[in-house]
Structure formats: C-alpha cells, structure tokens
C-alpha cells in the first residue's frame, strides 16, 4: 500500500492506533517477503462467497467440489458429533445447510492452512504440536460459546480458536532461524516472555502479527482485536466491557488453558487449580460443572483432530488428571 489513504484503511481494519506507523511498516516489510502463510485461492474464494448474503449456492458447491480435501472435511464435520444429529448427510448441499455458510468458510480457511503448514524450516517450532493445540483451542472456544459465552457466535469462536496463534506460525515461516533462537531462549510455557522477546527482535509480537494477517483475510474487526489483545484482558481501553471482542478474548484465554491440559501429559497441581479457577471466574461456571465440560471438549478434540488430520491423544477424565497432577 503506497497512499496515505490505503494506510489509513489498513490501520482501521486492524484497529491499530494511528500513531503506530512503525508496526505498520514492519508488517508491510514482512508481507513483501511473500512468505506469510495464507489460505490458498480456492479456500479464500469459498470464504468470501460464503460471507455473501446473496451467495449463489450452485457456484459455491462447484468451487468446493474442485477441492477434494475441503469437500471431504465439510462432509465429515457435517456428520460429526458436533451437530448432534442422527440423520446422516450424503450431499454437499445438505452439508451446507447443516454447517451454515460461516462455518463452511471457516472450514475452508482452516483446512487450507493446516494442509500447507504441517512442516516447515523453523527447527525449534513444533508444527505438529502447534496444530494440535490450535484444534484444541478451536473446540474449547466452540463449546464454551455454545454453552456459556453466547454473545459470541459459535462459528466465530471456532475459527478464532483455530487461527488465534497464526502469528507464531508466520514468524516460524518467514524468519525460521531468528525464531528458533527466540523459542529456545524463551522460558518454557511463558507466553509473556515469548511476546516480549518477539517485540525486541521483530518490533511486534505474534498476536499483533496474527491480527494484521486476519484483517488481510477480511475477518471482522472485532475478531482481529480479540486476537491482538487476547493475552491482555486487563486492557480496558482496547477490550471494553460488554463487547464482542472482549468476550471473544475471554474465550481465547480459557481455550489456551484447556489446550495445555489436552496436549501435555504432565500437568502441575498449581496449573490444574489455576485452570479450574479460570473457568469459574471467566464464565461463572460452577466448579462441579468443569469436569463434565472438560471431558466433552476432550472427546470432541479427538474427533476434530481426525477431521483436520491433526495429531491428538486419548486424554483421561478430568477427575483422574486432577488427582494425579503433580
């Protein structure tokens, strides 16, 4: 983007303060490398068409049919336990109806990104673990949006969980050597330390980068804000109370904790307690509800991992995890 008008438009889309021109310049430099992970053309076409209120369903079906990977995932998801239906679907047309247009576009984005980025040049970046965590977060967000945080659309929650860490993938793809050094130096499991190191080296962190990327994909402004500020819920200026972005950021915070339990075999007792408290404080969930919710999410994570061809594992019931935490 060369004109000041284009720059202003881009800043508005990503909700970055007007005086933050330096970060915009850094993002443009990263874009110019042409290495940023992005959904392929077919996935973007499906996403954009599915967002059109006047969509031509026959045209959309023909585009989906051209991509066997997306078509098969759409059918698998439509027939999954997510939709709690005993009636099996055999046509894309009926799958579109069950999933809805938003989820169809979201599946296309997710399938495209996962399939293209299962491995890469960053030695210290665990690509398989990254997608395993991302799917865990998507399922957690979807479940809680449906059960507790109903101000956020379940389809939006699902996509936010799946894509909210794409900035990490971007750094690993564009700057593999530098990012390997950052990951190795960062304190294990400390997201604050990782964000600080990214800021020091690149001038912006993975949440900011992810938000800018999603704005380029024409995802909603509140979605991008939630991703950008997902680790700073105390930031009332950028995440005002009773807004969609704040509610979505809360979901992302909670899903982060759940994904840690699902993907890690050993959970310290303090962490198990912290996660239980977080669930009750963020969503008013009674502590007795948590085991049932966790076990449901765990089961759906395994099923969704199969749909996206992402590694998962069998996870013990929450009560057993809690009793063995140490």
pLDDT at 1: 39
Q: What is the pTM of this model?
A: 0.86
User: Of the residues 116, 148, 173, which one is the last residue of a structural domain?
Assistant: 116
pLDDT at 272: 66
Asked whether residue 112 falls in the same domain as residue 203, the answer is: no
Asked whether residue 141 falls in the same domain as residue 280, the answer is: yes
**How many residues does this entry show for the chain?**
326
Q: Which of these, 120, 127, 214, 239, lies nearest to 163 by C-alpha position?
A: 214
Is pLDDT of 209 > 80? yes
| Residue 216 resides in a domain | yes
pLDDT at 77: 87
pLDDT at 270: 67
Asked whether residue 79 falls in the same domain as residue 30, the answer is: no
pLDDT at 273: 67
* Domain encompassing residue 52: 38-116
Radius of gyration of the chain (CA): 19
pLDDT at 326: 54
Asked whether residue 171 falls in the same domain as residue 199, the answer is: yes
Residue range 5-51, pLDDT digits in tens? 344 334 434 444 444 788 999 999 999 999 999 989 999 899 888 88
pLDDT at 103: 86
pLDDT at 268: 65
What whole-number percentage of the chain has pLDDT above 90?
Answer: 44
Judged by DSSP in three states, 120 sits in coil
Residue range 243-268, pLDDT digits in tens? 999 999 999 988 988 898 898 877 66
Asked whether residue 173 falls in the same domain as residue 96, the answer is: no
Average pLDDT of span 177-196:
88
* Beta carbons within 8 Å of 25's beta carbon, 6+ residues apart: none
| Residue 56 resides in a domain | yes
| Residue 174 resides in a domain | yes
pLDDT at 289: 83
* Separation CA 142–CA 129 (nearest Å): 20
Domain of residue 221, CATH code: 1.10.3210.10
Residue range 117-161, pLDDT digits in tens? 999 999 999 999 999 999 999 999 998 887 776 678 888 899 999
* Separation CA 293–CA 295 (nearest Å): 6
| Residue 4 resides in a domain | no
**Domains in the chain, number:** 2
């Amino acid at each position: 983007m060369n004109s000041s008008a284009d720059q202003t438009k881009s800043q508005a889309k990503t909700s970055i303060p007007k005086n933050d021109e330096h970060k915009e310049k850094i993002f443009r430099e990263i874009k110019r490398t042409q290495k940023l992970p992005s959904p392929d053309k077919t996935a973007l076409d499906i996403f954009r068409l599915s967002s059109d209120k006047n969509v031509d369903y026959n045209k959309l079906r023909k585009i989906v049919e051209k991509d066997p990977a997306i078509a098969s995932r759409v059918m698998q998801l439509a027939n999954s336990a997510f939709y709690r239906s005993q009636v099996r679907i055999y046509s894309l047309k009926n799958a579109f109806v069950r999933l809805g247009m938003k989820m169809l576009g979201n599946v296309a984005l997710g399938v495209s990104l996962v399939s293209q980025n299962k491995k890469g040049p960053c030695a210290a970046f665990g690509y398989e673990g990254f997608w395993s965590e991302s799917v865990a977060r998507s399922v957690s967000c979807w479940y809680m949006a449906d059960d507790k945080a109903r101000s956020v659309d379940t389809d939006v929650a699902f996509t936010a969980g799946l894509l909210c860490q794409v900035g990490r993938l971007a750094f690993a793809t564009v700057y593999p050597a530098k990012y390997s050094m950052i990951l190795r130096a960062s304190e294990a499991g400390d997201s604050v330390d990782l964000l600080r190191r990214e800021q020091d080296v690149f001038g912006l962190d993975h949440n900011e980068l992810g938000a800018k990327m999603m704005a380029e994909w024409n995802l909603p402004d509140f979605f991008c804000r939630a991703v950008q500020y997902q680790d700073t819920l105390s930031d009332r200026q950028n995440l005002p109370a009773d807004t969609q972005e704040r509610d979505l950021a809360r979901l992302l915070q909670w899903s982060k904790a759940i994904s840690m339990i699902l993907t890690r075999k050993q959970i310290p007792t303090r962490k198990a307690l912290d996660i239980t408290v977080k669930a009750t404080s963020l969503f008013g969930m009674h502590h007795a509800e948590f085991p049932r919710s966790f076990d449901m999410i765990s089961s759906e994570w395994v099923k969704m991992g199969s749909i996206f061809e992402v590694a998962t594992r069998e996870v013990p019931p929450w009560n057993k995890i809690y009793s063995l935490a140490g």
